[in-house]
Structure 1
């Protein structure tokens, strides 16, 4: 199995999760959509994915589907969850190709520069296969996973993530305005994307695109990194269609939250550890907060 870092972009920020998922090019070419595209035509949106194709029946009938709403009061502290480890084979820089798939901004690393992730809940090493961006059309949506029922508008930062700066600067993002556009990026340092924390939340789930295979180990890192308002605006100007078709923004490319059912959500955030024995109490709390001005 390969590993996918799915980056859920929301209003001026995102959080990152890692999922072990089987990747096939055919998945991206399937007959499905996140939202109604054109009046009078039918392309199945998430509520129909499991009904229109028998090979996708897990999307409707599965018991370990993703994304989910993470209720922090129901998380179980697991002291045996070790920190994640990033292995770039001794190379600090990598190359990759950015694609407009019509549904996501996708960055797929050059096969000559393998990046492997291990530790945490992962039983063995997984290869980084894709970095995929999800984002909303408005200032209060965009993340697939929810935390205590909230999606993540997050906050503006004037010091955005260095790695995302390379992906989302104007000279780069305008090269993939339309579906099937691609652009080669070189000199990327994956460590720049990795959030500066050892704390995370994890559970067993599924892919969030058809065929919704239940082969994913999701890891939600407990620290956001940032993009700017201008970068968010640029993402919303990406089209899910070819240039000769009507413009349809790629935004709102998220699957709704699915029932957790009997699954356990584990974390290495020890909420009960307080006082002098803990030099950094901030690290023991989930770091995602909804801006208060958005709640007014």
Structure 2
């Protein structure tokens, strides 16, 4: 079975601290959590402990709408009322600062240049807040979401927020729209990612807390040429795992070169005076789907560019009865 899902990097952005967690606010600001074990000799909670070490993070362990998930095509439901996403850039390019946060490559746009996203499953217009990259140490894994059990080298996630003030938005659990694009390795690179990952840029953020200003970015270059996507209700994928995210996974990949992927794997999650640890494998394991629906605007009854193997796909998308209850 073939779907146009050649994707392998994910961008995702969340910086959240909750009023109820004042006792450990400093630890939250210092990033007191990790994706994998550290070697400095001190305990830093990995994903399996996120929901156990802090009561403000209990959704990480007890939540019923957690992300990421393994997208099983047999659970997808065609929704004819899902309209295409709309991007409004005001006809201008944007600037942004790229950071090595120690856990992600993060691009945060200049607030003077508004980029709004609406349409699709979104009831409001959301403001672009961050582009974030997830990637693996090997090409077979690196995306947070899986497709029928298959991982990709990375995933690009853009987060959109209802709040105009990002600092205040980060302090409250509220609705977030997350657009996810799998990324695959190819000889050619996506135009937007090429600006972020070319040698002159990526080498400016080798270590934690490094930052570099980029100008003249066209966010439209990031998105592949398709109106097809799938969507489900889930959570942010870092502590405190708030279940307030509408996920939109684009049904086409974007690409980076093998050299650019290698450059990502050479980024350190530590400061230069500490032992080198690659930022790669910065992914949370998939979570149980439970009773959630996965909707899509891909019409499986029609042969088209996004669904070339229509004959094989059609029987895979029958709605299970429990989804309709």
Please classify the TM superposition score into its range, dividing by the shorter chain length.
0.7 to 0.9
| Aligned-pair CA distance for 1:39 | 6.1
Matched, 1:41 2:81: no
Aligned mates of 1:16, 1:240 — CA distance in 2: 17
Q: Following the alignment from structure 2 to structure 1, what is the Cα–Cα distance between the partners of residues 7 and 248?
A: 18
Q: 1:245 to 1:15 in 2, by over 3 A?
A: closer
After the TM superposition, which residues 66-215 of structure 1 pair with which residues of structure 2 at under 5 Å, given as runs? Answer: 66-91=67-92, 93-153=93-153, 155-215=184-244
CA distance in 2, matches of 1:180, 1:208: 21
Task: State the TM-score, normalized to the length of structure 1.
Answer: 0.85
Q: Secondary structure at the match of 1:73?
A: helix
The answer as to whether partners of 2:8 and 2:185 remain within 8 angstroms in 1 is no
- Secondary structure of the residue aligned to 1:234 is helix
Output the CA distance in 1 between the equivalents of 2:282 and 2:289: 21
Secondary structure of the corresponding residue to residue 183 of structure 1:
strand
Residue 260 of structure 1: how far off its partner (Å)? 0.3
Q: CA RMSD in A?
A: 1.9
Q: How many residues align?
A: 266
Q: Which moved more, 1:56-65 or 1:157-166?
A: 157-166
1:58-88 Cα offsets, whole Å, 9 max, x none, are 0000000000000011100000000000001
TM-score by length of 2: 0.78
SS in structure 2 of the partner of residue 160 of structure 1: coil
For structure 1, list consecutive stretches of 5 or more residues without a partner in the other structure: 1-11, 275-280, 287-296
Instruction: Summarize deviations over 1:120-164 as a string: whole Å, max 9, x none.
Output: 000010001000000000121100000001101475322210110
Shift of 1:180: 0.3
Cα deviation, 1:174-230, whole Å, max 9, x if unaligned, reads 000000000000000111111110000100000000000001000000000100000
